[in-house]
Amino acid sequence: MLVLIISLEEHGLAVDDVQKLESTHSHWPTENNSFDWKVQMIHAYDRQLLSTKQKILKPYFKDENLKYFQWYRNEVTYLKSNTHFIEELQQRWNHIEPLCDIGYNIDMTDFYINKDNFCANMAKFMNKTKLKDDTIKFIEQRRKHNWQLYQTYLDNVVDTVRCLKERKHKDITHLDNTQVAMVLCEYFHMDVKGKDKFCNHSNHKLPASTTEILSYA
């Protein structure tokens, strides 16, 4: 989406063509269309591929509750790997999203909760006072398109983690494998002892409640 916003603002991409190119994930193929792309996308983020000669925009989520949300979006809209939740926990329990030390870091939390601030920050990155009306309309369309995914994450992941931290019972039989993985990674984030206890004591079946998760940890 950020590539499209910049291309709309600075490189002559027609707003009528945007909907043909955009998807809910970040892997749409630029080689399959005729637009002369000026913006390079590096996905996943790799600091070693960047240079101070480039103008760099790095998305991240400042909200601590959303530290795994980008991974979730990528998983459910593109990868669909459905890796077992225990394996995901073992791989991602200590993930920290790096900020870019030579670029402009834009908080994607604002995309969902403060559109005006998000638009202002995008304009600031491009040294503009404001975005074009068509660009703002596009951003609002993308926000509406992604809202249900965001709300589902809040309801099924963020709220479940809250219940775990408060040691409250919550039925989670409606959560799928990926959502359970997100819950566990968030709850055991940087807690190697808790993570290991859960992995060792769990029966590796999807837990039915927060109480069950707590019993293993």
Closest C-alpha to 178, from 156, 201, 202: 156
Let me know: does 93 contact 192? Beta carbons within 8 Å: yes
Domain that holds residue 183: 2-216
Task: Count structural domains, the chain.
Answer: 1
Q: Which of 9, 16, 28 is nearest to 141 (CA)?
A: 16
Q: What is the dihedral of CA 194, 189, 156, 90, to 10 degrees?
A: -70
Cα-based distances in Å from 113 to 88, 108, 117: 28, 9, 9
pLDDT band for 60, please (50, 70, 90 cuts).
Answer: very high
- Tell me the pLDDT tens digit for each residue of 169-211: 999 999 999 999 999 999 999 999 999 999 999 999 999 999 9
Which pTM does this prediction carry? Answer: 0.88
Rounded distance between C-alpha atoms, residue 66 and residue 1, angstroms: 18
Unique residue bearing structure tokens 């109480």: 211
Given this model, what pLDDT does residue 32 score?
A: 47
List beta partners, residue 107: 60
Q: Indicate if the pLDDT at residue 35 is higher than 60.
A: no
Look at residue 33 and tell me whether its pLDDT is greater than 90: no
- What is the per-residue pLDDT for 34? 53
User: Does residue 11 have a pLDDT over 70?
Assistant: yes
Q: How confident is the model at residue 22 (pLDDT cuts 50, 70, 90)?
A: low
Q: Which tokens go with 50?
A: 């960047």
Tokens of 76: 């459910």
* 62-80 pLDDT, tens digit each: 999 999 999 999 999 888 8
Per the prediction, the chain carries an average pLDDT of 90
Residue of 71, 78, 76 lying closest to 93 (CA atoms): 71
Q: What is the mean pLDDT of residues 45-59?
A: 87
Give the contacts of 39 (CB within 8 A, at least 6 positions apart). 3, 6, 7, 11
User: Across the strands, what pairs with 209?
Assistant: 171
| 126-134: average pLDDT | 95
* Per-residue tokens: 166: 């408060």
Q: Average of pLDDT values for 116-140?
A: 96
Burial 86-107 (b: 16+ CB within 10 A, else e): bebbeebbeeebeeeeebebbb
SS3 106: strand
pLDDT, position 40:
77
